[in-house]
Amino acid sequence: MNKKIIEDATEYIKELFKDNSDGHDFDHTMRVYNNAITISKSYENVDFFTISLASLLHDADDYKIFNTENNENARKFMKSQNLDNLVIDKICTIINEVSFSKNKDKTPSSLEGMIVQDADRLDAMGAIGIARCFAYGAKMNRDFNTSLKHFDEKLLLLKDKMNTKVAKEMAIERHEYMIQFLKEFNKELGE
């Protein structure tokens, strides 16, 4: 049953993000899901179903994309799968604890939440994080300099905000890549 719900969630997300290409899209969601599964494998007694569903639905109601309240899209999907209200609330709590802008210095209330938050933050780093930064900047009509500010405001802070040992290790290389990118970028600008 759980495998079918995960498959249905994947299809739901694919449809939900079909017209989005700003870095908060189906591909991002699947990378977060895969990161979460990778991190989860290092822990015993984690709820893989909760992690899977929370990672797949983590952007289903992102304020940058959707004008919804109270995790409307995520709840709609989970209710369609006849999930228990306690499970729905647990997953919505994790989803609400993922956002960097809303939870900068807050640690999620569960290991599952920490894993999903780390998985999402990892996708904002490295080569993919750089590409996503500029894709979102273009959508918002931001110039290069405005997008570059995002590195100091968020991207370069992420390495030290990881919750899990596995994510901390994964973040090191991605962080270094962003540092090298900025050095090359500034060099090409003549700065």
Mean pLDDT of the chain: 93
Tens-digit pLDDT profile for residues 91-115:
999 999 998 877 777 899 999 999 9
Tens-digit pLDDT profile for residues 44-66:
999 999 999 999 999 999 988 89
Token pair of 31 as six digits? 């990378």
Q: Measured between alpha carbons, how far is residue 45 from residues 32, 33, 88, 143, 188 in Å?
A: 20, 18, 20, 46, 49
Indicate if the pLDDT at residue 177 is higher than 80: yes
178 half-sphere exposure, CB direction, 13 A CA radius: 27
Give the number of other Cβ atoms within 10 Å of residue 108's Cβ: 19
Indicate if the pLDDT at residue 191 is higher than 80: no
Strands (E), the chain: none
pLDDT band at 13 (very low <50, low <70, confident <90, very high): very high
Indicate if the pLDDT at residue 1 is higher than 70: no
Q: Could you tell me which CATH class the domain 2-189 is placed in?
A: mainly alpha
Indicate if the pLDDT at residue 181 is higher than 70: yes
How much is the pLDDT for 7?
A: 97
Q: How far apart are CA 160 and CA 169, in angstroms?
A: 11
Burial of 44: CB neighbours in 10 Å, binned 0-12, 13-18, 19+: exposed
Tens-digit pLDDT profile for residues 121-136:
999 999 999 999 999 8
Token pair of 62 as six digits? 């992102």
Give CA torsion, residues 51, 134, 27, 37, to 10 deg. -30
Concatenating the DSSP letter of every residue in 62-91 gives -TTT---STTHHHHHHHHHTT--HHHHHHH
Tens-digit pLDDT profile for residues 133-158:
999 898 889 988 889 999 999 999 99
